[in-house]
A and B are shown apart, each in its own frame.
Chain A
Amino acid sequence: MTSNKSKELLLEMKNIHIDGFSDERWHKILKGVDLTLHRGEILGLIGESGAGKSTMGKAAMGYTQPGCKIIKGEINFNGIDLAKLNEFEKRKIWGNKISYVAQSAAASFNPAHRLMDQTISAANRLKINPTDVLKKDAVQLYESLQLPDAENIGDRYPHQVSGGQLQRIMTAMAMSPRPELIIFDEPTTALDVTTQVEVLSAMRSIVDKFNTAAIYITHDLAVVAQMADRIKVLRYGEEVEEAETRDMLSNPKEKYTKSLWSVRSLIKPEETNEDYMLSIKNIDAAYGSSKVLHNVSIDIPKGKTVAIVGESGSGKSTTARVITGLLPQLKGEIIFDGKKLSPKLEQRSKEELRRIQIIFQMPDTAMNPRQTVDEIIGRPIEFYQGIKGKEREAKVIELLKMIELDETFLDRLPSELSGGQKQRICIARALAANPDLIICDEVTSALDQIVQEGILKLLQKLQKELGVTYIFITHDIATVKAISDEIVVMYQGEVVEQGLKSKILNPPYPDYTELLLSSVPEMDPDWLTNLLNKRSS
């Protein structure tokens, strides 16, 4: 965030064109993007999925994924054109002058080796320092990244530490050979907000400490605002705009850039209802011998939206599984519309099943890839309502209209739909049963910001028209603000707080709610600094 960065050019990418091969033809992924980076500077690269930001980040190393190729362009790193080097020459730069930090730390560490061996493997290859010197240095890196038990954590295997810790160890691994440039490819996207804060601050301070240049790739504007000196926005493989971070936030020029944080401006007035659609009382539940829900009680008012928030492992999805009967509870009862529901799915009547529907996080895996849209939506209509033939088809088209699609989609397969369209089809499938309660399990977290906004608006519209009740499970506070009437905060299998949105989101907070809310990144470049100051004082 300091302005006295040197003006010495480190990386200059000119007119980069990259093609990718998929569906048996070549697509253009990047269409002539330029990029410059000075020593010690951090550039934020943002855009939605498919914008080409990750491809651009990897291209900065001269690397393309299998199935992609650089068509045109120069990648001048320290005066060497990486695009012209062969594999062998590039390998001397990778893990030496340029390091890479991947999105999913859990998948990016080799499960078969200890963390320390992986941390120093790149530096070890250079054969400059002996192994024990490297190990000592790695321990120091672990310490400055605030990892617990820095002395011994390297002896563990990847599965033995948490996701946030792994991400910090990967940063140590990238820093170990003291590179001139680090590519951070969505390093905090897979983490909870509370963990994200720790990882962000650790990464920022270490990059500052060694004055390393970095390219920070993300789709989250608020996150990049904390990290970057400059921000470049990409869309469809082209540059939208580039500006200093503060300018970009206070005064985005392009309409597209403004739309990137539109979800955050979506707000719904809260309402409540004394009449409960669903009440769960003193529920305990376990997977095998490990207990995950402790005495959970939640009331869901009729025709309203209750958001269940919490980080991963807090038991929010398990609560949904108990309500649907997929995981019978050990203790406690579920009252649905005044009647007790049996814990087991098999013992519930068809009518009870019809009235509770669920929409999942990943529309890709929630639909049979070999069924057409017509079959996917038509099946619950036939199954629950016994409607067949022409009438059924009319009903399917009516549902498609409701989700703002039309009959041209009838014969399409899920693979022929975009992410947002797939999620809309999943919503239509839930609606096809004509339910009273829909459980939305992280339905927007796999989607891009703009698509998220569309889905949330659609869900609100449907609630107004049909009076359906939602349970909205999410870890994203912006989504909560946008859709809920009431909020339930969960932590480690227990309900921390429950109440109207205005009550939960305004002080005074219980400790955990405070931590959760304060960890949500804000569109203010000083947010992280202020937060850390406040927490340390």
Chain B
Amino acid sequence: MLRLSLGLVTVFAFSVIIFSTFSFLPGDFATEILGQSATKSAVKALRAELGLDKPPVTRYFDWLGNVFQGDFGSSFSGRSKVQGDQGDRSREVVGLIVPRLKNTLFLTGVAAMLAIPLSLILGISAALFRNSYYDRSATGVSLVTVSSPEFFTAYIFILLLATLFPVFPTISNVDEASTLAERFYRTALPVFTLTLITMGHMMRMTRSAIINILSSEYIEMAKLSGASRYEVIVKHALPNAWAPISQVIAINLAYMLIGSVVVEYVFNYQGIGRLMVGSVYNRDLPVVQACALIFASTYVILNLIADLIGIISNPRLLYPK
């Protein structure tokens, strides 16, 4: 319960930070869209229409109040500029975000399903064969993948799997009509990129969590009671390693979501990251706020889940004295 309320506070604080950052940025939506040659009166009119003329604090609480009612507002862009123009062309933020959020969740979901089992298996086996050539090469390679920035990894994949050996497309444009198979095929490269950048960290942390536990006394005890190497790791070490491992997975899933901002840009994938970058460019505050809120709450929720796993996997917390 305490964790939950702390999480809410975090999300709230985050929205304040985003909002105030925007107030400090030079220019606003009106000046960005109308250009440098715009007349002062035109800018003023647009501001009045968007509500940008109100003081920031008022605007923030207006926005916050609406969010609590489930209304994330309308995007600034795409609305009618001229009064009396037929119809209102402004788009609801929710309608803008939901399809893209689905795309992003698909991308990161597939990447996670690939990265988590792979890194667990690699990490555990590296711990099992500690200091073997296998262990050394696995930890060495993972260090390289962790240290390379996302866009670099992405371009290497493009070079290898799209240009030299054209197996996968470089542009991952999907739409509502795409079939599942098509989606898998088109998103292969961004999925690989996201997998690779997060796997190294998860694998290394799994390995060190297991190795840490292997030096404890109950492991020696298990060995001396005749347990095999496999039994020692799976039955005795792993149950005590879930808490640290789930923490690392949570951090990496969140990192994956953030990393998707860059990766979606590189592969021109219609996801929420790309939407956010574009909106920051336009100073389209409602959209940016909503995106940021989604990122922040994912972070908080993932960490909550990790804490929960930590509690469930630890009898000390589950069964008090």
Contact = CB atoms under 8 A, between A and B. Distances in A.
Contacts of B226: 91-96, 122, 125
Nearest to A66: B215
Interface in B292-320: 313-316, 319
Interface string B211-226: 0000011101111111
Interface stretch (A104-112, A135-143, A453-461): A104-112
A102 interface: yes
Q: Which of B217, B221, B239 has the most CB of A within 10 A?
A: B221
A95 B216 contact: no
A227 to B, nearest CB: 20
B315 A157 contact: yes
A122 B236 contact: no
A91 B228 contact: yes
Given A107-B217, A107-B218, A112 B224 contact: no
B225 A110 contact: no
A112 B319 contact: no
Given A160-B319, A160-B321, A61 B240 contact: no
A100 B315 contact: no
Contacts of B116: none
A110 B240 contact: yes
A63 interface: yes
B321 A94 contact: no
Contact of B218 (A92, A95, A109, A160): A109
A121 B221 CA distance: 12
Contacts of B315: 111-112, 157, 159
Q: Which of A92, A99, A104, A110 has the most CB of B within 10 A?
A: A110
Contacts of A107: 216-218
Contacts of B227: 91, 95, 121, 125
A104 B217 contact: yes
A59 to B, nearest CB: 12
A291 interface: no
Contacts of B316: 111, 157, 159
Q: Which of B226, B239, B316 has the most CB of A within 10 A?
A: B226
Nearest to B229: A87
A94 B224 contact: yes
A91 B114 CA distance: 36
B209 to A, nearest CB: 13
A113 interface: yes
Contacts of A160: 319, 321
Given A159-B316, A159-B321, A110 B236 contact: yes
Contact of B225 (A65, A122, A156, A157): A122
Interface band, chain A: 20 to 34
Contacts of B235: 113
B236 to A, nearest CB: 5
Contacts of B216: 107
Interface string A44-75: 00000000000000100101010000000000
Interface string A155-193: 011011000000000000100000000000000000000
Nearest to A58: B224
Contacts of A156: 319
A96 B235 CA distance: 19
B314 to A, nearest CB: 8
A63 B240 contact: no
B221 A108 contact: yes
B291 to A, nearest CB: 40
A157 B314 CA distance: 10
A100 B235 CA distance: 19
Contacts of A94: 223-226
Nearest to A185: B224
A108 B225 contact: no
Given A95-B225, A100-B225, A112 B313 contact: yes
B221 A113 contact: no
Interface string B160-192: 000000000000000000000000000000000
B226 to A, nearest CB: 3
Nearest to B320: A160
A99 B225 CA distance: 6
Contacts of A99: 224-225
A324 B223 CA distance: 44
A429 B223 CA distance: 43
A102 B319 contact: no
Contacts of A63: 223-224
A82 to B, nearest CB: 13
A117 to B, nearest CB: 10
Interface string A124-135: 010000000000
B224 A95 contact: yes
Interface in B232-286: 235-236, 239-240
Nearest to A92: B226
A112 B225 contact: no
A94 B231 CA distance: 14
Contacts of A102: 217, 220-221
A121 B225 contact: yes
Contacts of A113: 235, 239
Nearest to B318: A157
Contacts of A112: 236, 239-240, 313-315
A156 B315 CA distance: 10
A96 B221 CA distance: 14
B321 A111 contact: no
B224 A100 contact: yes
Contacts of B220: 65, 102, 108
Q: Which of B225, B228, B239, B315 has the most CB of A within 10 A?
A: B225
B170 to A, nearest CB: 47
A157 B315 CA distance: 7
Contact of B319 (A104, A121, A122, A157): A157
A389 to B, nearest CB: 46
A151 to B, nearest CB: 18
A516 B221 CA distance: 32
Nearest to B228: A91
B315 to A, nearest CB: 4
B222 to A, nearest CB: 7
B221 to A, nearest CB: 4
A92 B225 CA distance: 9
Nearest to A61: B224
Nearest to A170: B221
Contacts of A58: 224
A313 to B, nearest CB: 13
A156 B116 CA distance: 33
A119 to B, nearest CB: 10
10 contacts: A100-B221, A100-B224, A107-B216, A112-B314, A113-B235, A121-B222, A122-B225, A125-B226, A156-B319, A160-B319
Interface of B: 216-218, 220-228, 235-236, 239-240, 313-316, 319, 321
Given A96-B226, A121-B225, 14 more contacts: A65-B220, A91-B227, A95-B227, A100-B221, A108-B221, A110-B240, A111-B218, A111-B316, A112-B236, A112-B239, A112-B313, A112-B314, A113-B239, A125-B227
Interface of A: 58, 61, 63, 65, 91-96, 99-100, 102, 104, 107-113, 121-122, 125, 156-157, 159-160, 173
